[in-house]
Amino acid sequence: MTGIRDPKKILMVQPQLESLDGHEHTQIKAVQSLLPQSEIAIATRYGFGLSGQIDDLNIMPVLPRGAHFGAELKEAVLSTGLTQADLILVPSAGPDEIEALMAYYEEHADEDSPTAKLRILSADILSGCSDVFLDRLRNACQSGKIKLLTEAEELQAHFEDRYGLPIAGQLNLPCTILPDDPDIEAGKRGFEDVTTIGVLGRQRSEKGSYRIPSIMKHLGRLTDRHSEKLRIHFLYQAVGTKRLRRLSLELKTRFNRLANPNITIDFVGSGLSEQRFRRLVLDADILLLPYNVSRYQFSGSGMIMDGVFAGKPIVCSNGMAMRNVLSHGNCEQATSDEEFAEKLLMVATNKAKYDEGAAIAASFAADLLVASARNLRD
């Protein structure tokens, strides 16, 4: 593709579209906002039954479950009539999607074939791949028909240094908060009454959800000793798994044992509508991300993008990726549970200090979206 025009058609490969509380649906809307002139079709797994959620799009449930889908992807490309003026886009590419696209181009390398752009979000995606697989991927990239993208600069550097893969740049996609969201300003308020700390998103062990009871304990001790009267409210989103039900019970037990009326907690479920989740983000004053750095040292996070666009201070694990949007005075980083509590208290008692940094970070992230649209067009 040449020039700066939008691709005429985009075939998005989204095998996990049936998940409502992941990023699959928000990715579609984000691409629509970046490339509004493009006609979008979605290839997903057999049995997709949520078309009412996105009934304004061409949904093609043609990909088999639990099997490679190179042949089915070929049929999807043919049925949508894609040419070199068009684009195949995989916003969350895993080994299956990479294999399917490599197989397609090994058979169809003609000049009229569309370019495929695959965004890889985690170092784990390629860590177990064979040398043969990686050689094929390098060859596909060198042919120009496959271009690799990442979300985080740190992951791009990792892939280039470790595997010698050419990465075409970053693709940053907004999740539930857009830069021009009219409710962002309304969500900016002082902490005069209650500071709301959001622990939001689909909770998993690598997101450090098990650390919340200890962080609350340390925060309770700090607020008891603080000269100012502080009221802190945790907004914790949990999914309905047995492990996280136990965690919720532990949090409630710990909270009751603290008997501190100035620290409160509410639990909200998973599987929320986009509008409801967006409201939770906007209602939070601080976003807490005690993520496992071994998992997130190269991988980005949708919660970071939401928090930055919403103008929220972020307290996250030291060493997380996406430092380019976390280094504008909008973020505090921590390692131990006690340090997390200290940084939360620091932000809660110095709100004005973070306003300017949050505004700079939001402007920087908006520029990243412009660059992302360019990376999809080029």
Mean pLDDT by 10 residues, the chain (378 residues): 72 78 78 93 78 65 78 86 93 93 85 92 95 96 94 98 96 90 68 84 84 90 80 82 62 62 81 85 95 95 95 97 97 98 94 88 96 93
Residue 73 belongs to domain with CATH number: 3.40.50.2000
Do 258 and 331 reside in the same domain of the chain?
Answer: yes
Whether residue 164 is found in the same domain as residue 188: no
pLDDT of 268: 83
Q: For residue range 108-128, list pLDDT tens digits in order.
A: 767 788 999 999 999 999 998
CA distances from 275 to 2, 177, 305 (A): 37, 10, 16
- Do 134 and 233 fall within a single domain? no
Burial class (CB in 10 A: 0-12, 13-18, 19+), 110: exposed
Residues 166, 212 within the same domain: no
Tens of pLDDT, residue by residue over 233-284, are 999 887 655 665 666 666 666 655 556 678 888 888 777 778 888 999 999 9
CB 88 within 8 Å of CB 102: no
- pLDDT at residue number 267: 83
Sign of torsion over alpha carbons 325, 375, 163, 105:
positive
Q: Is 255 among the domain residues?
A: yes
- Exposure string over 72-100, b if 16+ CB within 10 A, otherwise e: bbeebbeebebeeebbbbbbbbbebbbbb
Provide the residue range defining the domain that includes 91.
Answer: 9-171
Determine, yes or no, domain membership for 373: no
In a domain, 178, yes or no: no
Residues 120 and 193 in one domain: no
Q: Are residues 284 and 356 both part of a single domain?
A: yes
pLDDT reported for residue 9: 94
Say if residue 55 is in the same domain as residue 134: yes
Buried b (16+ CB within 10 A) or exposed e, 134-148: eebbbebbeeebbbb
Q: Does a structural domain hold residue 217?
A: yes
Final residue belonging to a domain, choices 140, 171, 202: 171
Please check whether residue 80 is in contact with residue 62, taking contact to mean a CB–CB distance below 8 angstroms.
no
The whole-number pLDDT of residue 333 equals: 98
Q: Looking at the structure, do residues 343 and 200 belong to the same domain, yes or no?
A: yes
Q: How confident is the model at residue 2, as a pLDDT?
A: 44
Out of 110, 138, 171, pick the residue that ends a domain: 171
DSSP state of 4: S
101 with 247, same domain: the answer is no
How would DSSP label each residue in 87-138? EEEETT--HHHHHHHHHHHHH---TTSPEEEEEE--THHHHT--HHHHHHHH
Mark whether 237 and 290 lie in a shared domain.
Answer: yes
Asked whether residue 4 is domain-assigned, the answer is no
Last residue of a domain, one of 143, 171, 199: 171
Look at the chain and report how many structural domains it folds into.
2
205 shares a domain with 159:
no
CA distance 368 to 132: 34
Q: Is residue 92 part of a domain?
A: yes
**What pLDDT shows up at residue 332?**
98
Distance, first Cα to last Cα, the chain? 6
* Domain co-membership, 156 together with 199: no
